[in-house]
Amino acid sequence: MKKWTFRALFAYILFGVMIYIYLFYLAGSGVPDVFRGTSADPTTFMSGKELLLSEEYSKIRNLLFFLSTPYEWLLYFFLLLFGVSRLLERWGGSISHFSIVQTAIYVFSFSFIVFVIQFPFRYLSYYFSSKYGISTQVFSSWMKDGMIDFWVNFVTMLIIVAVLYALMRRFQKRWWLFAWLLSVPFMIFMMFIKPVLIDPLYNDFYPLKDKELEQKILALADEANIPAEHVYEVDMSTKTNAMNAYVTGVGSNSRIVLWDTTLEQLNDEEILFIMAHEMGHYVEKHIYVGIGGYLLLTFIGLWLTAKIMNRTVRIHGDRLKITGVSSISSLPLILLITSILLFAASPLSNWASRYQEMRADRYAIELTVDKKAGVSSFQALTKAGLSQVHPPFLVKIFRYGHPTMLERIQMIEAYPVDHD
């Protein structure tokens, strides 16, 4: 145990030092010489102070991301190695003879421990976001959102864990296949209820107040053959200065949503370009492509998880205090394996996402025929979020689900349209 603990901590510290050196000393984020002075060059639309703050904040945010991910792996590993997971399982068994009650006790205790131990990283993210003027949320409101996160995640995890371990006990060799089959309707169900049950727990949603703008957006949707009757506005200015707009939900619960910060900081033409981008996802059926990709990755991921779990429990089960794969004390091992697999697959999934986002940008240009609004909206998004226009390579492939602002602005500038 001491040897494994030392090796794990040493590997984490060594990784932390290496990623710090990479982000703060080796990786460059400056705009290539060929783009200097263009509309993609942040010096043309950001002040010197904004540029400095952008570099500082981006480096800190990227460092927190790369440190928090293996920190999560370390947490799951130690919960197994020191017998905490096994202890929680026994505690649940001592309180009740009913399986669902034992599962609920375990999941709640496990979720609480993870929440507490991961709290420092969440707080640091909130602290620096507030310090650099991105977050406007007071601490009490931030903690309230954290508590909502905890309970939503607890209920969701309880359902998943109860079903998953029931499948493990019933189908010892093919549990991963049945879990994959059930994940499909569960995902669609969550997408359906999220806009009407989960999202309103965090923010107030209401019809767009600017009816003239709403009519412009609906007219754009009609031109794109998108069935839409309302546009929703969400009060985010009490929490952030960043901007966003999105389409969420499926079927009758689908919604077009604009943050009020977007409405305050962009003009109508820029907002219409952003909305045209979101409509591009709908027209090009990216939601169905995303579901297809999810099904493929989940199938491979669950199969690999089952294979790795069986081998790990067979060889190291005693050291990790796991009596069997179907024992609920193996949950940290499942989460550890899936988290590592998701991280390993993130360059591929992020690449696919960036491709779709670029396609949506092109659609927005063709629908609005307003390249100027596209460029200015992306410049405004960069300033509001203190984003890097040209992030380091590792940051891009592991963090960016959207093309870099350099790529997006240059694509708009070079894209041919009939009317500029």
Q: What is the 3-state secondary structure (H, E, C) of 82-99?
A: CCHHHHHHHHHHHHCCCH
Q: Which residue has the tokens 């209401």?
A: 206
Summarize pLDDT for 341-371 with one digit per residue, the tens: 999 999 999 999 999 999 999 999 999 999 9
pLDDT at position 196: 81
Under the banding of pLDDT at 50, 70 and 90, the label for residue 290 is confident
Distance CA(199)–CA(267), nearest Å, equals: 26
Model's pTM, two decimal places?
A: 0.90
pLDDT at position 251: 63
Angle at alpha carbon of residue 360, lines to 32 and 230, rounded to 5°: 135
Structure tokens at 94: 């001592």
Residue 257, phi then psi, degrees to nearest 5: -125, 135
Stretch 193-218: mean pLDDT:
87
Q: Which of 236, 193, 327, 220 is nearest to 279 (CA)?
A: 220
* 3-state SS class at 239: coil
pLDDT at 1 over 80: no
Under the banding of pLDDT at 50, 70 and 90, the label for residue 373 is very high
Contact between 154 and 111 under an 8 Å Cβ cutoff? The reply is yes
The number of C-alpha atoms within 13 Å of 92 and in the hemisphere containing its C-beta is 22
pLDDT at 78 over 60: yes
Contact between 370 and 418 under an 8 Å Cβ cutoff? The reply is no
pLDDT at position 303: 95
Contacts of 371 (CB under 8 A, 6+ apart): 365, 412, 413, 415, 417, 420
Stretch 381-405: mean pLDDT:
92
Active centre residues (catalytic) = 278
Distance CA(22)–CA(285), nearest Å, equals: 38
pLDDT at position 420: 45
pLDDT at position 253: 64
Summarize pLDDT for 410-420 with one digit per residue, the tens: 999 988 876 54
Q: Identify the residue with better confidence: 189 or 66.
A: 66
Q: Rounded to whole angstroms, what are the CA distances from 64 to 68, 133, 163, 164, 399?
A: 6, 18, 33, 31, 12
Q: Backbone dihedral region of 204: left (phi > 0), alpha (psi from -120 to 50 degrees) or beta?
A: beta
DSSP for 132-184 reads: TTSB---HHHHHHHHHHHHHHHHHHHHHHHHHHHHHHHH-TTTHHHHHHHHHH
Distance CA(154)–CA(203), nearest Å, equals: 20
Distance CA(46)–CA(174), nearest Å, equals: 56
Distance CA(213)–CA(268), nearest Å, equals: 7
* Average pLDDT score, the chain: 90
Distance CA(408)–CA(392), nearest Å, equals: 16
Query: Which residues share a beta bridge with 256?
Result: 231, 247
Distance CA(15)–CA(311), nearest Å, equals: 26
Summarize pLDDT for 25-39 with one digit per residue, the tens: 998 767 888 888 899
pLDDT at position 284: 86
Contacts of 58 (CB under 8 A, 6+ apart): 29, 386, 387, 388, 391
Q: Which helix (H) or strand (E) holds 205?
A: strand 205-207
pLDDT at 228 over 50: yes
pLDDT at position 299: 94
Distance CA(22)–CA(44), nearest Å, equals: 27
Q: Where are the domains of the chain?
A: 2-202+285-414
Distance CA(208)–CA(231), nearest Å, equals: 6
